C-alpha cells in the first residue's frame, strides 16, 4: 500500500487538527445523519485517553465518536479522492455525510476508501465510530467481560493481556489524497546485489488501473540524478557500482514511476528504497555479506499527552539518542509503528525488526521456567484463542505496507506467545508460511520467545530464522541475584548455541525496572546501580557466545501500562524516563555500544 505523498499528479489534504469527540455511553443511540451531539473537541492524531481531565474518558472501554468537517477545492473535484487513515485503534466505522463508507478492524495498519460518490458541495461531515475493545479474536489479545450498572446499562471491560496501556483513538494522520482516475495503485521493489561486482538488479512491479498505455520507471540516485530507466509494469533494472544501504549509513534511491497515455504523463509516484542484502547463514545475520550485530531496543509508541499517538519530534529525538549511544536498531514492539517512523528509519539507517500486533497469545501468563517440567505441556491457549484470522490479516497488511522499506530487516510474527504449549506449532506454521510467501524481499522471520519457552519446551524454534529471546534472569526470576542470573543466562545461551548451531541468537528483551533517581550502595533492585549491574552481567555473557548476534534491551523508555502491583505509573524498565531523561546505565551502554562495530563484531 502506497504512502500518501504529493507529486505533480497528486495532492494531500491533511485532516489533522481539532475533531469533535465523545464517548458512547450506549444509552441514547447516535444518529449519524445528524452532527455529533457534542461541542467537546480533541486533537487528532493522538490517543484520546490523556487529552482530558476525565477519568471516565481515560479508562473508557467501548465505543467513542470523532467528527470533523472539510471542504474540497473545486479544482480538485474532478480527481479521484481517497480518504486514508494511518490507523484507527482498534476498530473503525467511517461515515461521510451520514453514510457508512468503510469499516476496518486492526488498530495499527492503514486503510483507505475512495470518497467521490459521497461528497457534497458544502461542508462534508466525516464521522468515525471507534471501538477500543479487545477479546480472544483480536490482536492484541484482551480478556473481555460485560456487566450492568445500577441503571441497567451495559458496562464493558477489557483486561489487557499485555503490558502496555490500551491507548486508542485516531492515533495516526488522517488524510485525503488525490490521484487522477488512471493511477498507480502499488509498487513492489525487490533489489538484489551481487556483492562481488557491486552490481544490483532491481525488480520493479507496478500495479496501475484506468486508461494508460505505458508504465515508466526511472531510478534516481540520492542526488536526484537518473541512474537507469525502463518501460513496463514488470522490469529488472540494473544499477552498476551501487551505493549500498548500510546500517547507520543509509543510501536511498528513488523509483520514480509514471503511467503514460498518448505520450502524456497521467500519474507519478516516487518510492524511496535501499539496496542491501540480508542473509541468515552459519549462525550469523549478514548485512551485505558482513555479520551484523544488533544494538538497541524494544520500544513503544508512548509519550506524555499523545499516548500512543504520532509524535514526530519524539520519533526524531529517539533516533538521535539511539545514534548518539551507538545503537543501530530497534523492534517495533508490540505492533506496527507509524509509516512516518519507518520512513525516518530508512533515511537514518536504523535497522528495524518489524512486529505484528500478536501480543498476549497466552492464557497462563507467568515467568516461572520450572512451571513445565515435561516437554509436552499443554494449556488451553490454542483452544481458547481464536486469533488466527486476525493474525493472518495483520501479517498481510504489515507486509503490504512495509515491504519496500530498506530499514526492515526481519519480521517478528509474534511476541511471547505460548510456544511451549501443544498446539502452538499447528497455529504458527501456516502463519510463518504466509509471511514468507507474501514478503517479496524474503526477509528472515522470527517470534520473540518468553522465558517459559526454553530450549527444551519451545515447540516452534524450527520455524524461526533467528532465535529471539525475551529473558529476565535476575529480575522476574531470582530478583536481585545476579550471580545466579549470570549462570542461568550462560547455560541457556550455550544450550541454544549447541542445539541450533546454524541459527543466530539474540536478546529482544532483557531489563530491570528502575526508578530514576533511586540509588543504593548495595545495588538493590529498582535502583539505578542495579540496572547498570544487570546490564554489565548480561553483556559479559553475550560476548562469550559465538552465535549471539544482538542485544535489544527492554525498554528504550519508561512507558504507561495498566494498573498492577508490579507497576508504579507504568513500566520502569526504560533506560530513559518517559521524558527521555537518561538513567545512569546509559553512560555504560553508550561506552559499550560505541566500541562494538555494527558489522564484523562476531566473526
Ligand atoms: C515481556 C513483554 C513486555 C513487558 C515486559 C516486562 O514482552 O511487553 O513489558 O516483559 O515485563 O513479557 O517488562
CA distance 415 to 446: 9
SS3 of 487, please? helix
CA 459 to chain centroid, in Å, comes to 25
pLDDT at 527: 98
Task: Among 509, 526, 562, 565, say which to mutate for ligand 1: greatest number of ligand atoms within 8 Å of CB.
Answer: 509
pLDDT at 492: 98
Catalytic residue among 301, 416, 528, 532: 416
Burial category of 198 from C-beta neighbours within 10 Å (exposed 0-12, middle 13-18, buried 19 and up): middle
In eight-state DSSP terms, residue 119 is -
pLDDT at 91: 98
CA distance 302 to 559: 6
Q: Where in the chain is the domain with CATH 2.60.40.10?
A: 183-273
Q: What class is the 183-273 domain? A: mainly beta
**How far is residue 575 from each of residues 248, 310, 416, 565, 587, measured CA to CA in Å?**
21, 22, 22, 21, 10
H, E, C per residue of 407-419 = CEEEEEEEECCCC
Active site (annotated) includes residue 26: no
Active site (annotated) includes residue 160: no
**How far is residue 549 from each of residues 281, 291, 360, 507, measured CA to CA in Å?**
12, 8, 26, 8
CA-closest residue to ligand 1 atom 9: 163
State the fold for domain 296-325+471-603: TIM Barrel (3.20.20)
Task: Among 571, 572, 574, say which to mutate for ligand 1: greatest number of ligand atoms within 8 Å of CB.
Answer: 571
pLDDT at 363: 86
State in Å: Cα 475 to ligand 1 middle: 11
pLDDT at 19: 98
Q: Where are the beta strands (DSSP E) in 276-406?
A: 278-281, 284-287, 290-291, 294-298, 329-331, 351-355
State the fold for domain 12-179: Jelly Rolls (2.60.120)
pLDDT at 373: 54
| End-to-end CA separation in angstroms for the chain | 38
Model's pTM, two decimal places?
A: 0.98
pLDDT at 364: 72
* Contact predicate 178/80, CB 8 Å: yes
CA distance 119 to 178: 14
- Pocket residues: Cβ below 6 A from ligand 1: 163, 334, 415-416, 470, 509, 554, 571, 573
pLDDT at 378: 82
Q: Where in the chain is the domain with CATH 2.60.120.260?
A: 12-179
pLDDT at 87: 98
CA 357 to chain centroid, in Å, comes to 8
**How far is residue 112 from each of residues 86, 93, 102, 104, 121, measured CA to CA in Å?**
9, 12, 8, 9, 22
Q: Where in the chain is the domain with CATH 3.20.20.80?
A: 296-325+471-603, 328-461
| Rg, the chain, Cα only | 25
Give the homologous superfamily in CATH for domain 328-461. Answer: Glycosidases (3.20.20.80)
Low pLDDT (below 70) residues in the chain: 365-375
* Cis previous bond, 194, omega within 30: no
State in Å: Cα 163 to ligand 1 middle: 6
What is the strand order of the sheet 111-114 is part of? 12-14, 174-179, 80-85, 111-114
CA distance 463 to 428: 8
Helix axes 585-595, 312-325, angle to 10 degrees: 60
- Of all residues in the chain, what percent carry a pLDDT higher than 70? 98
pLDDT at 213: 96
Amino acid at each position: 500500500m502506497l504512502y500518501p505523498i504529493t507529486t505533480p499528479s497528486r495532492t494531500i489534504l491533511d485532516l489533522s487538527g481539532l475533531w469533535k469527540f465523545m464517548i458512547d455511553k450506549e444509552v441514547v443511540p447516535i444518529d449519524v445523519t445528524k452532527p455529533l451531539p457534542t461541542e467537546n473537541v480533541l486533537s487528532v492524531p493522538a490517543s484520546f485517553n490523556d487529552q482530558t481531565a476525565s477519568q471516565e474518558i481515560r479508562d473508557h472501554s467501548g465505543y467513542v465518536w470523532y467528527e470533523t468537517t472539510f471542504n474540497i477545492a473545486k479544482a480538485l473535484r474532478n480527481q479521484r479522492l481517497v480518504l486514508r487513515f494511518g490507523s484507527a485503534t482498534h476498530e473503525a466505522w467511517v461515515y461521510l455525510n451520514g453514510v457508512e463508507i468503510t469499516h476496518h478492524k486492526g488498530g495499527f495498519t492503514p486503510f483507505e476508501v475512495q470518497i467521490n460518490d459521497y461528497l457534497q458541495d458544502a461542508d462534508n461531515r466525516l464521522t468515525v465510530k471507534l471501538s477500543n475493545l479487545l477479546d480472544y479474536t483480536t490482536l492484541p489479545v484482551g480478556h473481555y467481560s460485560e456487566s450492568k450498572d445500577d441503571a441497567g446499562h451495559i458496562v464493558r471491560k477489557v483486561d489487557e493481556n499485555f503490558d502496555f496501556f490500551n491507548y486508542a483513538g485516531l492515533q495516526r494522520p488522517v488524510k485525503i489524497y488525490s490521484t487522477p482516475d488512471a493511477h498507480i495503485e502499488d509498487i513492489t521493489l525487490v533489489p538484489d546485489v551481487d556483492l562481488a561486482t557491486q552490481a544490483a538488479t532491481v525488480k520493479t512491479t507496478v500495479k496501475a488501473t484506468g486508461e494508460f498505455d505505458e508504465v515508466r520507471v526511472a531510478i534516481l540516485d540520492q542526488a536526484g540524478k537518473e541512474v537507469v530507466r525502463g518501460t513496463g509494469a514488470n522490469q529488472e533494472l540494473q544499477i552498476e557500482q551501487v551505493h549500498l544501504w548500510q546500517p547507520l549509513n543509509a543510501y536511498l534511491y528513488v523509483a520514480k514511476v509514471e503511467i503514460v497515455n498518448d505520450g502524456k504523463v497521467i500519474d507519478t509516484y516516487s518510492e524511496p528504497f535501499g539496496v542491501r542484502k540480508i542473509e541468515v547463514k552459519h549462525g550469523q545475520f549478514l548485512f551485505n555479506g558482513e555479520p551484523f550485530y544488533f544494538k538497541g531496543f524494544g520500544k513503544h509508541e508512548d509519550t506524555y499527552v499523545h499516548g500512543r499517538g504520532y509524535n514526530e519530534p519524539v520519533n526524531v529525538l529517539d533516533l538521535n539518542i539511539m545514534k548518539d549511544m551507538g545503537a543501530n536498531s530497534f523492534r517495533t514492539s508490540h505492533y506496527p509503528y507509524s509509516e512516518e517512523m519507518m520512513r525516518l528509519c530508512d533515511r537514518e539507517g536504523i535497522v528495524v525488526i518489524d512486529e505484528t500486533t500478536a501480543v498476549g497469545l497466552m492464557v497462563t501468563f507467568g515467568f516461572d521456567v520450572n512451571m513445565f517440567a515435561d516437554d509436552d505441556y499443554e494449556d488451553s491457549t490454542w483452544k481458547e484463542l481464536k486469533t488466527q484470522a486476525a493474525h493472518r490479516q495483520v501479517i498481510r497488511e504489515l507486509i503490504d505496507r512495509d515491504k519496500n522499506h530498506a530499514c526492515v530487516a526481519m519480521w517478528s510474527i509474534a511476541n511471547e506467545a505460548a510456544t511451549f504449549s501443544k498446539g502452538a506449532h499447528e497455529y504458527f506454521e501456516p502463519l510463518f508460511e504466509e509471511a514468507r510467501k507474501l514478503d517479496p524481499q524474503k526477509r528472515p522471520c522470527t517470534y520473540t520467545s518468553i522465558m517459559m519457552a526454553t530450549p527444551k519446551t519451545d515447540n516452534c524454534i524450527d520455524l524461526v530464522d533467528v532465535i529471539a529471546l525475551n529473558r529476565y534472569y535476575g529480575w522476574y526470576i531470582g530478583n536481585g541475584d545476579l550471580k545466579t542470573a549470570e549462570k542461568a543466562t550462560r547455560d541457556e545461551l550455550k544450550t541454544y548455541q549447541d542445539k541450533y548451531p546454524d541459527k543466530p541468537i539474540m536478546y529482544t528483551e532483557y531489563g530491570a525496572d528502575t526508578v530514576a533517581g533511586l540509588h543504593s550502595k548495595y545495588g538493590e533492585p529498582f535502583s539505578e546501580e542495579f540496572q547498570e549491574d544487570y546490564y554489565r552481567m548480561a553483556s559479559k555473557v553475550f560476548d562469550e557466545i559465538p552465535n549471539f548476534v544482538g542485544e535489544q534491551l527492554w525498554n528504550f523508555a519508561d512507558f504507561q501500562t495498566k494498573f498492577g502491583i508490579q507497576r508504579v505509573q507504568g513500566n520502569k524498565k526504560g533506560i530513559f524516563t518517559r521524558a527521555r531523561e537518561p538513567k545512569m546505565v546509559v553512560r555504560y551502554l553508550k561506552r559499550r555500544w560505541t566500541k562494538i562495530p555494527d558489522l564484523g563484531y562476531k566473526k
